[in-house]
Amino acid sequence: QMQLVESGGGSVQTGGSLRLSCGVSGDSFTSFNYWCVAWFRQAQGQEREGLAFLSPSGTTDYADSVKGRFTIATDNAKTTLSLQMNNLKPEDTAIYYCAASVVWGDCRAPRTDFDYWGQGTQVTVSS
């Protein structure tokens, strides 16, 4: 079965940057051309939060908490998903997950129904 795998997490100081990547493994995947793709995070003791959504049309949607600081994108072949995170803050500390769905309609917050999820990667921002 197709799986998503995040990478790029780590520890940074306040104001720093990280780029997360989400790759795909499995035999049934070609590209995200007609998929809704997204990034979520879950801080310790808190609920999962949708951060960034990218529709097949190229339209993006961001949570207010990360708007202007985070950017969701795919590579040219649309086989890899990324999340560029700038000006990181301690409140950004969380486990970050990529998500994807072949149902591309309404690809925006607060959607949570995605067919595929990554295993998560830890991001820690120190004061």
pLDDT value, residue 111: 94
Of 124, 95, 118, residue with least CA distance to 25: 118
CB 100 within 8 A of CB 32: yes
- Three-state secondary-structure class, residue 25: strand
pLDDT value, residue 42: 98
> What is the percent of the chain with per-residue pLDDT over 90, rounded to a whole number?
91
Q: How far apart are CA 49 and CA 61, in angstroms?
A: 13
pLDDT value, residue 55: 96
Q: From the first residue on, what is the mean pLDDT of each consecutive set of 10 residues in the chain (127 residues)?
A: 93 98 89 95 97 96 97 95 98 98 92 95 97
pLDDT value, residue 90: 98
pLDDT value, residue 50: 97
- Three-state secondary-structure class, residue 92: helix
Q: How far apart are CA 84 and CA 54, in angstroms?
A: 13
